[in-house]
Amino acid sequence: MLPSHAYGELNKYKHLIGNYGMAWHNQYKDFENFTGAILMTTNCIKKPKDSYKDRIFTTGLAGWPGLTHIRDRRKGEAKDFTEIIEKALELGSLVPEEGKKITIGFAKDQVMALSDKVIEAVKSGAIRRFVVMGGCDGHQSSRNYYTELAQKLPQDTVILTAGCAKYRYNMLDLGDIDGIPRVLDAGQCNDSYSLAYIALALKDAFGLNDINDLPISYEIAWYEQKAVTVLLALLHLGVKGIRLGPTLPAFISPGVAKILVENFDIKTVTTPDEAISEMFAAQAVGA
């Protein structure tokens, strides 16, 4: 539910009051502990366990054999969520759990509303570098790279994030820079366009001709097919020096890799220390 609070049209509903669980790959644990009804709307569904199979529903493009699927809206009709509502009422109320509070909702409009403050922070040197850490999360221990990177980044850096990659570091106490949170969460994978929009807006604000002249580094966490769109969008914008990992897409054959390296200087994940050293070898705007 975390991204839903970032959207005004959803956040206005008072019963959307919290978030439960973390990244998609924790659903066996999270769904078993959660005692309410569950609606799956994305391809992140894993084979449901028998312990919660009777209270999980699907809709849209998501589905699983044996589960109740809420059919798509017909012309002039709303989706009928009666079955899942009845199941939720049958199961009863949840027991509230106190958790950590985090600030989200930093899509393009919100960041642009603060653009004067952000630009001044860059010009003054309070913000030395932005690091785009978007993409997917997964259960492999190699993905701790992104947690360690977030922890080791200097205090004058700001992380721009979207997608499940955020779950590797969004609960860390990374602080803020003159009131600007050091983790600006734009939302879901689909909201990665906001990060590109912000980069382009900053390029124009600083009067730069090339997006690669900005003090921005790109650490894209690869896992599955949706991330292809994010990667291709960045390449289309001419972004160079993207660090991709910890695993690489299956479509990156030796021939494709050669093109990406030669034309876009694309790199693979190594270590957080090496990544940080390379990031700050580049001169920041106004330095």
Instruction: Kindly report, residue by residue over 113-140, the tens digit of the pLDDT.
Output: 888 999 999 999 999 999 999 888 878 7
Q: Are residues 136 and 275 in the same domain?
A: yes
pLDDT at 228 over 80: no
Of the CA atoms within 13 Å of residue 177, those in its CB half-sphere come to: 22
Bigger pLDDT: 44 or 1? Answer: 44
Last residue of a domain, one of 91, 121, 155: 91
Question: Which CATH number belongs to the domain containing residue 204 in this structure?
Answer: 3.40.50.2030
Structural domains counted in the chain: 2
Domain assignment present for 72: yes
Beta strands in 25-175 (DSSP E): 38-40, 56-59, 68-70, 129-132, 157-161
Measured CA to CA, the distance from residue 154 to residue 252 in angstroms comes to 32
Domain-embedded: residue 194: yes
Query: Are 145 and 248 members of one domain?
Result: yes
Residue 141 in tokens: 């221990």
87 and 116 in a single domain? The answer is no
287 pLDDT tier (thresholds 50, 70, 90): very low
Span 139-159, pLDDT tens digits = 878 889 999 999 999 999 999
Give the pLDDT of residue 80.
92
Question: Based on the domain organization, do 115 and 242 belong to the same domain?
Answer: yes
Range of the domain at 39: 2-91
pTM attached to this predicted model: 0.86
Q: Please check whether residues 269 and 129 belong to one and the same domain.
A: yes
pLDDT tens digit string along 6-23? 888 888 888 888 888 888
Same domain, 182 and 272: yes
Q: Are 45 and 58 in contact (CB under 8 A)?
A: yes
How far is 202 from 130, CA to CA, in rounded Å?
Answer: 11
The answer on pLDDT for 251 being more than 80 is no
Residue bearing the bigger pLDDT, 284 or 41: 41
What are the tens digits of pLDDT across the range 27-79?
Answer: 999 999 999 999 998 888 999 999 999 999 999 989 999 999 998 877 778 89
Closest alpha carbon to 138 in 27, 279, 41, 33 = 27
287 located within any domain: no
Q: What is the 3-state secondary structure (H, E, C) of 21-61?
A: CCCHHHHHHHHHHCCCCEEECCCCCCCCCCCCHHHEEEECC
Residues of the chain with pLDDT > 70, as a percent, come to 97
143 and 26 share one domain: no
Please compute the mean of the pLDDT values over residues 230-258 and round it to a whole number: 86
Token pair recorded at residue 202 = 């900053």
In a domain, 202, yes or no: yes
Task: Indicate whether 73 and 43 sit together in one domain.
Answer: yes
- Residue 149: half-sphere exposure toward Cβ, Cα within 13 Å: 34
pLDDT-derived band at 224 (thresholds 50, 70, 90) equals low
Do 55 and 161 sit in the same domain of this protein?
A: no
Residue 100 lies in a domain: no
**Stronger pLDDT, 28 or 190, i.e. the higher one:** 28
Residue 268, domain member (yes or no): yes
Residue 58, phi then psi, degrees to nearest 5: -130, 160
99 occurs within a structural domain: no
Q: Are residues 40 and 151 in the same domain?
A: no
